[in-house]
Structures are given as structure tokens and as C-alpha cells.
Amino acid sequence: MLEQSRQQRCVVEDDLVCQLRSGGLEVAGAEASYQALKRNQGDTLVMASDLGIVVSRECKICMYTWVKRKAVEMCPQCGTNDSRDFNLTEELILLGEQQGCSMEIVERSDVLNEVGGIGCLLRFRLYVTANSTGSILS
Ligand SMILES: [Zn+2]
């Protein structure tokens, strides 16, 4: 039942969002999208129109990036506590522009909201290292 309703929604929802769910070349979520763009894998950045500032952190030691959830957080990758806060939304748009990504703004999408309002279609697939936060759909 659930799968069927998703398929039906795909017909009316934006095709890109549909791809995010149906297992094409894509990553979902702010962290994974940012990492994909940093690897120059991004083809199309998909964002919810009501996406605001996504405060994120970048580790100054190992450059790992994650979405800020608590006031004090260790780096999930190297365990140090030396990071900077930044607006991930802005950086995603900036990186996307630098790399010639298309940008799609989606008005209303439950699918996109489920993954935090950001997804990215990829130019090519790379094996994902164990430290990326599992946001890759496959
Ligand atoms: Zn680190």
C-alpha cells in the first residue's frame, strides 16, 4: 500500500524528487549533498522552497561536515571538538554554482521534507566511505 501511494505521488510530484526516492543516481539530505558537491559529483541540486538556514559544522582538523544538532558536539569522524559553524544552504548553492549544477526549487514535497529539504542528483556514482553518514539511498 505504502509503495503504491508513493508511486502515485510521483506522478504529481516533481520528477526530480521522484528520482530521489526511486533509486537513481542521487543522494538525499544536506550532509550527503554537500559531500557529493565537494567531490564534484553534483549534477542537480534539489531544494525545498521553504528551506531556511541549515546550520552545520565543519571540523577544522579533518574537514568533515555535519548538520549541527546540539550546542557542543564532537566531530563524528575524528572525535575532536574544534569546528566552525556555517550556513550549509548558502555553501551548497555556492558550490553548486561553481560546479555548474542545475538547481531545482521544489514548492511542496513530503519526500524532500523527509530528507531535510535537500537532495542532489549525481553525475556519477562513487563508492561511499564508511564515514559518510549513511544518507545515500541505493
Ligand atoms: Zn574531525
Domain annotation covers residue 44? yes
Within-domain flag for 113: yes
Domain assignment present for 51: yes
Q: How many domains does the chain have?
A: 1
Q: pTM of this prediction?
A: 0.70
39: confidence class by pLDDT, cuts 50, 70, 90: confident
Residue 136 lies in a domain: no
Q: How many Cα atoms occupy the beta-carbon half-sphere of 13 within 13 Å?
A: 22
Query: Ligand 1 centre from 70 Cα, in Å?
Result: 16
Residue 46 in any domain: the answer is yes
User: Which amino acid, one-letter code, is at 21?
Assistant: R
Q: What's the gap in Å between 26 CA and the centre of ligand 1?
A: 25
Cα 82 to ligand 1 centre (Å): 8
Three-state DSSP class for residue 127: coil
pLDDT confidence of 123, banded at 50, 70, 90? confident
Distance 128 CA to ligand 1 centre (A): 17
| Cell 575524528 sits on residue | 78
Q: How close is the Cα of 64 to the center of ligand 1, in Å?
A: 5
* Beta-bridge partners for 59: 83
Residue 43: which CATH number?
3.30.1330.30
Question: How far apart are the CA of 65 and the centre of ligand 1, in A?
Answer: 8
Residue 67 lies in a domain: yes
The 10s digit of each residue's pLDDT in 55-106 is: 999 999 998 888 888 888 899 999 999 999 999 999 999 999 999 998 888 8
- Note whether residue 138 is domain-resident: no
- Residue 15: pLDDT band (50, 70, 90) is low
Domain residue limits at 61: 12-122
Within a domain: 21: yes
Please enumerate in sequence order all residues whose Cβ is within 8 A of that of 32, keeping only pairs 6 or more positions apart, or say none.
120, 132, 133, 135, 136
pLDDT at position 125 is 67
Distance 99 CA to ligand 1 centre (A): 25
Give the pLDDT confidence score for residue 81 in this predicted structure. Answer: 92
Cα 67 to averaged position of ligand 1 atoms, centre (Å)? 13
Q: Which amino acid is at 3?
A: E
How many A from CA of 62 to the centre of ligand 1?
4
